[in-house]
Structure 1
Amino acid sequence: MGFAESMLLAYPGPLPHVDRIALTECIEACMESAQIATACAEACLSEPDLPELAECIRASLDCSDVAGTTAKVLSRHPGYDANLRRALLAACRAASALCAEQCERFAEAHRHCRVCAEACRRTEAACERLLDV
């Protein structure tokens, strides 16, 4: 059991209209993507083909910021506004998809891009599932 799930289970009040599994998976995926995308951007800065990686670095940093913010807001589950939640999930899904696309371009040459693309696709899917709830 991860910490996000532990915190959801420890919440003292009711969580109406919340799919705890989908929420837990999304928070955890967002937190993971935030970390991995930051690490991937840093790794890209050390690659010899740095100029070619500029868009990938930007997409990774954007994804990291959006995913981190999304995880924080979703962690305040009982008080968040549904419209804000949907907007953040849509933005996170879009940022994750863009980062994954950029990283997939370099996945064969750079292992860190492959790992990042996989994490971003997981986050994209988790955001989509939570949007459908």
Structure 2
Amino acid sequence: MSHSRQALVVHPAAPDMEESHRTALSECIDAALTCAQACTTGADACLEEPEVAALRQAMRAQQNCAAICSASAQILSRFGSDFGPTPASVLRALDDLSTLCEDACRVHAGAYPHCRVTAEACARVRAAIVALFAAV
């Protein structure tokens, strides 16, 4: 069980949440945190490549994706009884920026393994978002 999942289980508001929602929420948080790390490392790896200028768009996308993933994980982790439903706008922004990042990194995935890793992390976030919307 991930730390995100454990935190959601022991949260005082946990009994108010359906199990399927709690599972989908924890998986989305975990995917966002993993993606933030992959994007941060991916952008740094791009800086080390000899053709760094060709990777500029991917690096910016990775930096933006890392930022929205981190912020989204924080927001999604706050679900006390007065919070209300998961803000759809947060999930839409996360989906939009992770899509842009995945697309930008897929262009370079064949030549740069770190771009492939980032694109795959973005795809996992997007799948977790779909599952979370389905659970609410």
Structure 2 length normalisation: TM-score? 0.90
Q: Deviations over 1:33-71 (max 9, x none)?
A: 111101100000111111111110010000000011000
Name the structure 1 match of 2:32.
30
Give unmatched runs, 5+ long, in structure 2. none
CA-atom RMSD, angstroms?
A: 1.5
Distance 2:16 2:57 in 1: 40
- DSSP 3-state at the match of 1:76: coil
**How many positions carry a matched residue from both structures?**
132
Alignment check: 8 A CA contact 1:73 1:80 kept: no
Match of 1:104 among 87, 103, 106: 106
Name the structure 1 match of 2:50.
48
Match of 1:129 among 106, 128, 131: 131
Alignment check: 8 A CA contact 1:100 1:118 kept: yes
Give unmatched runs, 5+ long, in structure 1. none
Alignment check: 8 A CA contact 1:44 1:50 kept: yes
Structure 1 length normalisation: TM-score? 0.92
Letter in 2 for 1:116: T
Deviation at 1:130, TM superposition (A): 1.5
Alignment check: 8 A CA contact 1:37 1:61 kept: yes
Deviation at 1:128, TM superposition (A): 2.1
Name the structure 1 match of 2:68.
66
Deviation at 1:12, TM superposition (A): 2.3
Q: How does 1:67-86 map to 2 (within 5 A)?
A: 67-78=69-80, 79-82=82-85, 85-86=87-88
Name the structure 2 match of 1:15.
16
Letter in 2 for 1:91: A
Distance 2:76 2:45 in 1: 28
Q: Percent identity?
A: 37
Letter in 1 for 2:10: A
Distance 1:15 1:70 in 2: 21
Letter in 2 for 1:65: A
